[in-house]
Amino acid sequence: MHIEARVTGFIEENCYFAANPATRETVVIDPGDDAPQLLAYLRETNAVVVAYLLTHGHVDHVTAVAALCAVHPAPIHLHPLDAAWCFSPRNNLPGFYDAPDTPACPLVPVAEGTALELAGARWSVVDTPGHTPGGICWKLEDDRALFTGDTLFRGTAGRTDLPGGDARALTQSLRKLAALAGDWTVYPGHGDATTLARERSDNYFMRF
């Protein structure tokens, strides 16, 4: 799979595109903001969007979902604990983000154990609550790519002081990621990509 990132919004959230070069089938992960930029990328690459995968429900990760769905309809996969409020009026950041529009595409609940085949690749879910109650990570199995949202970053970890945050749950989630077999390329919700091996070695929050 070919993986590209686009940085969106004033919080500089990472939206990822994972595309099958042979078919142009594309999975969009966390389309946070700046829908015109994201739509332009999809147009320029002649992408065929087959799914939207959300790591969690915070507004800076989902604001562009409705606009993208209007042009490229496809199912939206997210954990039901975050789906309960993700597209509601309370998911806003006053002065910066209004509540996201409700997308016309279907919401598909996922959780630990969910396995999907999308764009010719195998995907699976790791439950990683803590930053939000329904936070998850997406594993792109054959590429050993791990999309961690706001659970794990290069050199640090997600905050837990927002509504629904749980520091103890986040610690357990990080412990679960540290225990994954082998190395994985980590694609976080903000900042640079890293590797699980590097974070196990250098990240204070991953030292168990």
Q: What is the pLDDT of residue 100?
A: 87
Q: Who contacts 61 (Cβ-Cβ below 8 Å, separation ≥6)?
A: 13, 30, 31, 32, 54, 55, 149, 150, 189
- Strand-pair category, 136-140 with 145-149: antiparallel
Q: What is the pLDDT of residue 1?
A: 95
The residue range of the domain holding 126 is: 2-206
CATH of the domain at 194: 3.60.15.10
Q: Which helix (H) or strand (E) holds 77?
A: strand 76-78
* Lookup: tokens for 59: 């507004």
Q: Which helix (H) or strand (E) holds 67?
A: helix 65-71
**How many domains are there within the chain?**
1
Tell me the pLDDT of the chain (208 aa) as tens digits.
999 999 998 899 999 999 999 999 999 999 999 999 999 999 999 999 999 999 999 999 999 999 999 999 999 999 999 999 999 998 988 878 888 889 999 999 999 999 999 999 999 999 999 999 999 999 999 999 999 999 999 999 999 998 889 999 999 999 999 999 999 999 999 999 999 999 999 999 998 8
**C-alpha dihedral over 86, 19, 73, 15, to 10 degrees?**
30
